[in-house]
Amino acid sequence: MDAVVMGNVDYNKNVMEHFRNPRNMGELEDADAEATVGNPSCGDVMKIMIKVKDDVIVDIKFQTMGCAAAIATSSMATELAKSKTLEEAEKISNKDVSLALGELPPIKEHCSNLAADALRKAIEVYRKKTA
């Protein structure tokens, strides 16, 4: 896959496309649950909001203050989680997100943790609220 060099990092075109045109970015006004996670190594932060109906994620949005990989993985994670059941969505791993983007540069693999962790945390918050 062709690469785009940004800073000193080679991103593939799929990562750059999700960075430039992120899906599901913004505020979800009527969210049923939300969670925010930070990456202690770089200080980047991601907030994820979910709307759930009959145990299915019917809407999802994110807000990420972070690097290109953090924004692209947030975009892809929300795409992967949308329309999934909570059980399916909580199984989405950082590797699933990275692979769906066509792999992140090794130095940026840790950036995919933000999205997967935030998604799992938001589901956990939802479960606690509705238990």
Q: Which residues are catalytic?
A: 42, 111
Q: Which stretch binds ligand FES (CB under 6 A): 29-37, 67-75, 84-92, 94-102?
A: 67-75
Q: Which of 111, 116, 122, 123 binds ligand FES (CB under 6 A)?
A: 111
Q: How far is the CB of 131 from ligand FES (least distance, A)?
A: 31
Q: Is 104 in the site for ligand FES (CB under 6 A)?
A: no
Q: In the structure encoding, which two tokens stand for residue 31, read together? A: 């969210």
| 3-state helix, strand and coil shares in percent for the chain, rounded to the nearest 5 | 45, 25, 30
DSSP track, 6-62: ETTEEEEHHHHHHHHS-TTBS--TT-SEEEEEE-TTT--EEEEEEEEETTEEEEEEE
Question: Given the DSSP bridges, would you call strands 33-38 and 9-12 parallel, antiparallel or unpaired?
Answer: unpaired
Q: Which stretch binds ligand FES (CB under 6 A): 13-21, 49-57, 61-69, 85-93?
A: 61-69
Q: How far is the CB of 63 from ligand FES (least distance, A)?
A: 14
Contact 96, 81 (CB under 8 A): no
Helices (H) and strands (E) in the chain, counts: 5, 5
Q: Is 92 in the site for ligand FES (CB under 6 A)?
A: no
Q: How far is the CB of 69 from ligand FES (least distance, A)?
A: 5
* Footprint on this chain of ligand FES (rule: CB under 6 A): 39, 42, 44, 66-67, 69-70, 108, 111, 114
